Amino acid sequence: MLDEATLERRLATLEQEVSDLKRRTDTNLTSSNWLDKLIGSISDESAFLEALEYGRSFREADKPVDESDK
């Protein structure tokens, strides 16, 4: 079981993280066009690129087989 000091420290960390998240969200939403800030924001992330490739391969696998290709 955690002692009181550890719980207080963890709670303070959580409160700071929530405060940081709220500040970032408020900053993004006050833009004249919030979508401009979102578009392309993760396009260079490897996980995003992997997800795009997964979606592409899934769509390709779901295409009907053309009878003339057999």
- 37 within 8 A of 31, measured Cβ to Cβ: yes
Give the pLDDT of residue 2: 77
Q: What is the pTM of this model?
A: 0.38
User: Mean pLDDT, to the nearest integer, of 17-29?
Assistant: 79
Predicted confidence (pLDDT) per residue in 33-70, tens digit: 767 767 777 766 788 888 889 999 999 888 887 766 55
Query: Which range is least confidently modeled, 3-7, 26-30, 36-40, 63-67?
Result: 26-30
The answer to whether residues 42 and 48 touch, using CB atoms and an 8 Å cutoff, is yes
**Residue in the block written with tokens 């719980």:** 7
Q: Which two tokens stand for residue 60?
A: 């390709």
**Residue 9 clears pLDDT 70, i.e. is over it:** yes
In the DSSP assignment, the letter for residue 31 is S
User: Residue 11's pLDDT is what?
Assistant: 94
Q: Are 64 and 70 in contact (CB under 8 A)?
A: no
